[in-house]
Structure 1
Amino acid sequence: MVAEKFGYTFADTEIIKMVAEMANVSTNFVETVEKEAGGKFSKFISKMISKPLVERILKDERGYIDEEIYLDYLVLIIAQMADDGDVVILGRGSQYILNDHQDAYHILLIDTFENRVKFMQKNYDLSKNRATQVVKNEDKRRFNLYRKLGKTDYDNPALYHLVLNMSRVNLDEAFKLVSHLVGP
């Protein structure tokens, strides 16, 4: 909504596509690495299979990505997008990556687990079970990503310009508050 109002680019899945392109792998593979970042399985695979081995096997015909490469590309892409300006970046540790970027605003939306499930049901036409699983998976992905970044305080209000409790503010009010903060 905010990106549309100000004519900004909305960067969410676009970041995944750019990482995949840079690493010469599929977007599904990048999503898997992102989802598993910091997880036991991912650590096991990273230790057992070295990049040089994978490169020799693939003979550079296909790309390679692991957690470290993913994070390197992620930082590079998010920083470049911010430098280009006029972009809304959804998550992916951007509050850390762009912590000192003078034109970046960091906004955190919080809500109860139950309300987040209801939001997914209503806005994405999901069953309660599927919506619950999506919210749990997203929480796990976020936790693992931040752990890999060496951060565990992603919900610390001091990291953000604005924290909105969506249990107490409706979407229209939140839109107005964010628009007022970031608007020209």
Structure 2
Amino acid sequence: MAVITISRQFGAGGKTLGKVLAKKLGYELVDEDIIQMVADKANVSTDWVESTEKEAGGKLLKFMSGLISKSYVERILGDDKGYMDEEIYVNALRDVIQQVAKEDNVIVVGRGGQYVLQDHPGAFHVLLIADMADRITFMENHYDLSHEEAKRVVEQQGSRRANLYRKFGKEDYDLPNLYHVVLNMSKLDMDKASDFIFRMVSDVVCHLVE
């Protein structure tokens, strides 16, 4: 009945929150699997998609893979194929996210979901923020990185995020009025954050059903 988009400052725990919420709600989590979807949509390699959207640090994404099944990917993809440049990449990404949202009961992590689905009637848009020091510590603890490695990854992926949104022509991605809720993960633990969103989505969905 709903679609949740999770945007985040890198290291604020967007993927982790997505996994927890997917389990609690019984939703499908869509994260890095969008790379495969876009690649199939454009009939190009996943490396080509990554090179189009990435800043340095993309290698980390290879072991931070999502949880979506192959059958789900195959169900989402359309038949249109073609050459991919940056413009086609953005259009393919929009199309894939919109197709994913039609499935309902999905969680989309990153990649401009809050913009692509801004007018979707069943979408809930969440932004996670945190202090830089806390984001570095999160990456150290969750991905077994040294302090210097974690700091470098957070900085690199922050640049990568900014570059992606520039492809959408957007610079306001951290403004709170784009979202239903902004959570400061320097002040909340993951359990409280996930419980809050779970209650918010469940209450609204129940009201709509009634």
Query: What range is the shorter-chain TM-score in?
Result: 0.7 to 0.9
**How far, CA to CA, are the matches of 1:121 and 1:174 in structure 2?**
20
Give the total of aligned pairs: 159
Counterpart contact for 1:106–1:162, Cα < 8 Å:
yes
Residues 67-106 of structure 1, C-alpha deviations (whole Å, 9 max, x = no match)? 1111011000001111111110001111111000011100
Please tell me whether residue 97 in structure 1 is matched to residue 123 in structure 2.
no
Is the radius of gyration larger for structure 1 or structure 2?
1
Preserved CA contact (<8 Å) 1:35 1:140 = no
Aligned AA (1:77): V
Percent identity of equivalent pairs:
50
Q: Tell me the distance in 1 between the aligned counterparts of 2:180 and 2:152.
A: 30
DSSP-derived class of the 1:105 partner: strand
Equivalent residue number for residue 178 of structure 2: 159
Mapping 1:91-170, distance limit 5 Å: 91-170=110-189
Q: What is the Cα deviation at residue 4 of structure 1?
A: 1.5
Cα deviation, 1:42-62, whole Å, max 9, x if unaligned, reads xxxxxxxxxxxxxxxxxxxx9
After superposition, the Cα gap between the structure-2 partners of 1:134 and 1:64, relative to the gap in structure 1 and judged at 3 Å, is farther
What residue ranges of structure 1 are gaps of 5+ in the alignment?
Answer: 37-61
Q: Distance in 2 between matches of 1:165 and 1:64?
A: 40
Q: Deviation per CA, 1:123-178: give whole Å up to 9, x if none.
A: 01111121112111211111111112111000010000010001111111101111
Higher RCO, 1 vs 2 (CA within 8 Å, ≥6 residues apart): 2
Q: TM-score, normalised by structure 2?
A: 0.72
Helix, strand or coil: the match of 1:126? coil
| In structure 1, distance between residues paired with 2:145 and 2:119 | 38
The residue identity in structure 1 corresponding to 2:168 is L
Unaligned segments of structure 2, at least 5 residues: 1-19, 56-80, 206-210
RMSD across aligned positions (CA): 1.5
